[in-house]
């Protein structure tokens, strides 16, 4: 039976340089923002998969500029990887499939923007980290991503979401949501609101360091959740990072910090049993080693001095965003149950407490690492014990 989505996708897919017939399509129920489908085609008797994705226009106000960034970034990455002699390029970097008239996106009759990617086969993504070797690989992948983009030629990338990680602006939005309390939900979040208010000074630390020239603007990914790294199913090595809509000017710390948030506690982002939520030092150590080995030499001593702090800050910023969205009536992040955003903020705040207990040790550990430590042997992801949180289908974008 052809579902509505498949019929719709058949129409969409005809717009792209994909030949053959759609055999079936399914929704990828991942990410909080865009709508993503994987579709299998018959091409000359071989089954080939593609990703089709509808860009969320409420979040990304100007999809054509998102796509312009994405094309510049993926072209540059591909050129650099080729120059470094890296094999298997279409599994190492996302490949955008152009429309039949050569554009990077298609705008349908209702004004929605669609794009397509080659499906990367033979990889896995995970909602929660399982081993220090995986943390190393995630760190290495995003470190390498930043390193490869350090010399992106041309003008400054477009800010696809202005002030995306501006913690001061996020804090102000949070204060406003508390003050307005339009859904009368503040009473359910008293403890979380107080927790956040007490930590207000965190919001300015990196912005001040940037203004004082201690750290520099870079090209960064800005959404470095662990589930945005595809690990080779056979070797466990990181192959490709995905979800490139927020690649734009940022701080290296935004990327490292969000990795600390999602790659050092073995729990899901919305874990309700807070006793399980903890920043595990061995995970952090592997993550930091992987990151510094991937990043190579470009980080300055000033940047390195804020590395441990960045974990706390990004967990704070994203916790604030969840809490703000809860207070505002769940208008931004997709929710799957009442109180979901509040639960998510609780998990982030528990992780902050754990980071606070270990922050000094974390920074000392980073200070003791040089730029390119040796890699531990990754464990094959396929050999890891299957867990509820493992996903065999890759996530290509939010």
Sort strands 218-220 and 113-118 into parallel, antiparallel or unpaired.
unpaired
Torsion of CA 149, 154, 158, 159, to 10 degrees: 50
Contact call for residue 290 and ligand GN1 (CB under 6 A): no
**What does 269 interact with, of Mg ion, ligand GN1, none (CB < 5 to 8 A by kind)?**
ligand GN1
Segment contacting Mg ion by CB under 5 A, of 20-28, 142-150, 241-249, 261-269:
241-249
Say how many C-beta atoms besides its own lie within 10 A of residue 362's C-beta: 22
* Rounded-to-integer distance, Cα 252 and Cα 146, Å: 8
**What does 59 interact with, of ligand GN1, Mg ion, none (CB < 5 to 8 A by kind)?**
ligand GN1
Cα of 68 vs its chain's centroid, Å: 19
Q: Least distance from C-beta 33 to ligand GN1, angstroms?
A: 4
Q: Least distance from C-beta 240 to ligand GN1, angstroms?
A: 15
300-319 footprint of ligand GN1 as x/- string (CB under 6 A): ------------------x-
173 phi, psi to nearest 5 deg? -65, -35
Identify which of residues 63 and 398 has a Cβ nearer to Mg ion in the complex.
398
3-state secondary structure 231-275: EECCCCCEEEECCCCCCEEECHHHHHHHHHHHHCCCCCCCCCCHH
Could you say which of 137, 223, 269, 271 contacts Mg ion (CB under 5 A)? 223
**What does 270 interact with, of Mg ion, ligand GN1, none (CB < 5 to 8 A by kind)?**
none
User: What part of residues 14-43 is at the interface with ligand GN1 (CB under 6 A)?
Assistant: 31-33
Write down how long the chain is. 398
Sort strands 35-43 and 46-54 into parallel, antiparallel or unpaired.
antiparallel
360-389 footprint of ligand GN1 as x/- string (CB under 6 A): ------------------------------
Strand segments, DSSP code E, in the chain are: 21-28, 35-43, 46-54, 96-97, 106-107, 113-118, 123-126, 218-220, 229-232, 238-241, 248-250, 390-391
* Rounded-to-integer distance, Cα 398 and Cα 395, Å: 8
Identify which of residues 120 and 133 has a Cβ nearer to ligand GN1 in the complex.
120
* Rounded-to-integer distance, Cα 293 and Cα 394, Å: 25
* Rounded-to-integer distance, Cα 109 and Cα 111, Å: 5
Q: Which residue is nearest to ligand GN1 (CB)?
A: 398
Could you say which of 35, 144, 232, 243 contacts Mg ion (CB under 5 A)? 243
**What does 255 interact with, of ligand GN1, Mg ion, none (CB < 5 to 8 A by kind)?**
none
* Rounded-to-integer distance, Cα 33 and Cα 227, Å: 14
Identify which of residues 133 and 238 has a Cβ nearer to ligand GN1 in the complex.
238
Q: Which residues does 163 contact at the CB level (< 8 Å), separation at least 6?
A: 169
Contact call for residue 243 and ligand GN1 (CB under 6 A): yes
How many chain residues bind Mg ion (CB under 5 A)? Answer: 3
Q: Least distance from C-beta 60 to ligand GN1, angstroms?
A: 8
316-355 footprint of ligand GN1 as x/- string (CB under 6 A): --x-------------------------------------
Q: Least distance from C-beta 277 to ligand GN1, angstroms?
A: 15
Q: By the 8 A CB rule, do 185 and 343 touch?
A: no
Q: Least distance from C-beta 220 to ligand GN1, angstroms?
A: 12
C-alpha distances in angstroms, 330 versus 185, 268, 335, 336, 387? 11, 19, 7, 10, 29
**What does 267 interact with, of Mg ion, ligand GN1, none (CB < 5 to 8 A by kind)?**
none
Q: Least distance from C-beta 225 to Mg ion, angstroms?
A: 7
- What are residue 231's DSSP bridge partners? 124, 238
204-223 footprint of ligand GN1 as x/- string (CB under 6 A): -------------------x
Could you say which of 13, 134, 220, 246 contacts ligand GN1 (CB under 6 A)? 246
C-alpha distances in angstroms, 374 versus 81, 134, 179, 294, 365? 21, 15, 50, 11, 15
**What does 118 interact with, of Mg ion, ligand GN1, none (CB < 5 to 8 A by kind)?**
none
Q: Which residue is nearest to Mg ion (CB)?
A: 398
Q: Least distance from C-beta 23 to ligand GN1, angstroms?
A: 28
The residues of the shown chain that bind Mg ion, judged by CB under 5 A, are 223, 243, 398
The residues of the shown chain that bind ligand GN1, judged by CB under 6 A, are 31-33, 59, 223, 225, 243, 246, 269, 318, 398
């Amino acid at each position: 039976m052809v579902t509505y989505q498949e019929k719709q996708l058949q129409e969409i897919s005809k717009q792209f340089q994909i030949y053959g017939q759609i055999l079936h399509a399914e929704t990828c129920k991942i990410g909080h923002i865009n709508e993503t489908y994987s579709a299998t085609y018959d091409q000359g008797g071989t089954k080939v998969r593609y990703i089709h994705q509808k860009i969320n226009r409420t979040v990304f106000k100007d999809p054509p500029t998102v796509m312009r960034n994405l094309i510049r970034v993926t072209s540059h990455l591909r050129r650099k990887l080729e120059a470094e002699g890296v094999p298997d390029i279409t599994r190492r970097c996302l490949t955008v499939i152009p429309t039949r008239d050569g554009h990077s996106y298609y705008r349908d009759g209702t004004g929605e923007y669609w794009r397509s990617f080659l499906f990367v086969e033979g990889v896995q993504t995970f909602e929660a980290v399982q081993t220090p070797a995986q943390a190393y690989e995630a760190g290495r992948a995003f470190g390498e991503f930043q390193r490869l983009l350090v010399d992106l030629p041309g003008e400054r990338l477009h800010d696809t979401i202005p002030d995306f990680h501006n913690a001061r602006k996020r804090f102000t939005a949070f204060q406003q949501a508390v003050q307005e309390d339009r859904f009368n939900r503040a009473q359910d979040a008293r403890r979380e609101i107080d927790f956040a208010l007490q930590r207000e000074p965190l919001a300015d630390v990196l912005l001040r360091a940037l203004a004082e020239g201690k750290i520099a603007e870079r090209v960064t990914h800005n959404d470095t959740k662990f589930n945005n790294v595809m690990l080779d199913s056979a070797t466990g090595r990181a192959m490709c990072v995905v979800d490139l809509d927020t690649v734009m000017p940022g701080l290296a710390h935004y990327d490292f910090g969000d990795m600390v948030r999602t790659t050092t506690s073995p729990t899901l982002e919305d874990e309700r049993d807070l006793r399980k939520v903890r920043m595990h030092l061995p995970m952090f150590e592997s993550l930091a080693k992987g990151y510094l080995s991937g990043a190579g030499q470009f980080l300055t001593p000033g940047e390195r001095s804020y590395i441990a702090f960045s974990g706390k800050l990004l967990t704070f910023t994203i916790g604030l965003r969840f809490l703000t969205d809860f207070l505002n009536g769940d208008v931004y992040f997709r929710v799957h149950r009442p109180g979901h955003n509040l639960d998510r903020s609780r998990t982030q705040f528990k992780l902050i407490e754990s980071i606070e207990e270990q922050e000094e040790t974390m920074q000392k550990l980073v200070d003791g690492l040089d730029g390119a430590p040796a890699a531990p042997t990754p464990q094959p992801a396929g050999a890891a014990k299957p867990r509820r949180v493992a996903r065999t289908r890759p996530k290509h974008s939010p």
